[in-house]
Structure 1
Amino acid sequence: MKVIDISRELFSAPVYPGDPIPRRDRLRRMDLGDICNLSGFYTGCHASTHIDAPSHFIEDGKTVDQLEPERFLGECTVIEMQGIITGSDIDRILPIAKKRILFKGEEKALLSESGAFALTDAGILLVGTDSLSIETDKDEAYPAHRELLGAGIPILEGLNLSEVEPGNYRLIALPLLLGGAEASPVRAVLVAE
């Protein structure tokens, strides 16, 4: 069994434009004579590797604490693609893909509205990408987010798939239990059997 960490480090990861910059405050330090080390931290819910819950774009959508943990554990397929992923692209990969799909594209794998429709129709449980967002911010209506999240499909963004070969794995990417939050950072790993 091989475990591959596909998370980005919280404090050094790129930040989506306009989001808060994560920081860590060292409150106690043994090197300064304190009895222990103690830190606090501040971050946005969409920092680094994170899950978008339906409430991110859907009025009265589920928040991260309302999502079933099973969504974030189980078989997944890593697919290597770059550019705008369309419904036709999804139709081609569905026969070989598990119900959780992660797109590896050197941060250039973006989902179109038709791609999101195809994933929703296929009953996909989770969609992920190594991009900071699953879609381009040029369309301010965010149709792919709205389609996936409206169907209750969480989106896993900001993955580090640089060392991962395309194929099937077991995914573990549990969000923090943040009551009422629309997103949560995660520590995501793939298990290769």
Structure 2
Amino acid sequence: MAAAPSPPSPRQTLWDISPPVQPGSPVFPGDAPFSLQWAARIGPNCPVNLSTLTLSPHTGAHADAPLHYGDEGAPIGEVALEPYLGPCRVIHAIGCGPLVRWQHLVHAIPDPAALPPRVLVRTYARMPQDRWDDDLPAYAPETLERLAELGVLLVGIDSASVDPATSKTLDSHQVLRRRGLHVLENLLLDEVREGDYELIALPLRLSTACASPVRAVLRALA
């Protein structure tokens, strides 16, 4: 007798776009690597497991604070939360080269007036989750300028930085500062199709930190 067919899987409504944070997670050369130690373990005299973390706030999916690229900027615990929550558009610019330019995005912006205020760009076919990429793709500063002009509040990318790894002037970060743009870096977009979603990626209320890890997720629009 033939087995009954499996029921159809429900339509996916939630995408976790946060890479795992674990030993070996790539960080900018010289930054603090992730580590976890056990301060206590369950046993005869202890009812709980208790861990201690050491990590850079730029580990995994994270939100940079204005303080990261300007001494006068706010720490992450003082930034507004609204930009990290709401409609967004995921745009593919896979294999675009060292810089995401406007020409790599325009195919997904047929009506600029209808562009959501959050834009996430996928540049990797497969995001490197276990190694640092010296040739990481970044945003061209003029691309960020153009997005700001269209009313975008937050930009994201699946690489570790909106600037090239070798940059000393951080031109794209300075556009963020000047235009008041918020940013998410190190997003895992490997399984996400182009299109519109709801973004939920709230930073921790770290009162004096230059960034915060986020648990970034996308939810299907109703």
Same topology, TM > 0.5: yes
More displaced stretch, 170-179 vs 8-17:
8-17
Letter in 2 for 1:136: P
Q: Is the 2:34–2:55 Cα contact (8 Å) retained in structure 1?
A: yes
Deviations 1:65-92 (A, max 9, x none): 1111111000000000032122454566
Of the three residues 1, 15, 19, the one matched with 2:31 is 19
Of the three residues 9, 21, 40, the one matched with 1:28 is 40
Of the three residues 156, 163, 171, the one matched with 1:128 is 156
Secondary structure in structure 1 of the residue aligned to 2:57: coil
- Provide the rounded CA distance (Å) in 2 between the counterparts of 1:53 and 1:171: 18
Secondary structure in structure 2 of the residue aligned to 1:168: strand
Please state if 1:86 is matched with 2:101: yes
Residue 72 of structure 2 corresponds to 60
- Provide the rounded CA distance (Å) in 2 between the counterparts of 1:61 and 1:148: 11
- Provide the rounded CA distance (Å) in 1 between the counterparts of 2:72 and 2:44: 48
Q: 1:31 to 1:131 in 2, by over 3 A?
A: farther
Q: Is the 1:120–1:147 Cα contact (8 Å) retained in structure 2?
A: no
Q: 1:70 to 1:119 in 2, by over 3 A?
A: same
Please state if 1:51 is matched with 2:74: no
Instruction: Quote the RMSD (CA, aligned, Å).
Output: 2.0
Secondary structure in structure 2 of the residue aligned to 1:171: strand
Residue 214 of structure 2 corresponds to 186
Letter in 1 for 2:41: R
Q: Calculate the TM-score normalised by the size of structure 2.
A: 0.80
Deviations 1:99-124 (A, max 9, x none): 10001111554201211221222221
- Provide the rounded CA distance (Å) in 1 between the counterparts of 2:36 and 2:118: 32
CA drift at 1:131 = 0.3
**Percent identity between the two aligned chains:** 34
More displaced stretch, 7-16 vs 165-174:
7-16
Q: Is the 1:130–1:157 Cα contact (8 Å) retained in structure 2?
A: yes
Letter in 2 for 1:5: D
Residue 103 of structure 1 corresponds to 121
CA drift at 1:175 = 0.3
| Structure whose CA Rg is larger | 2
Q: Is the 1:127–1:153 Cα contact (8 Å) retained in structure 2?
A: yes
- Number of aligned residue pairs: give it: 193
- Where structure 1 has 5 or more consecutive residues not aligned to the other structure, the ranges are none
Letter in 2 for 1:28: A
Secondary structure in structure 2 of the residue aligned to 1:21: coil
Deviations 1:135-174 (A, max 9, x none): 2123310100110132221110011111111111000000
Q: Calculate the TM-score normalised by the size of structure 1.
A: 0.91
Letter in 1 for 2:154: L
Q: Is the 1:22–1:44 Cα contact (8 Å) retained in structure 2?
A: yes
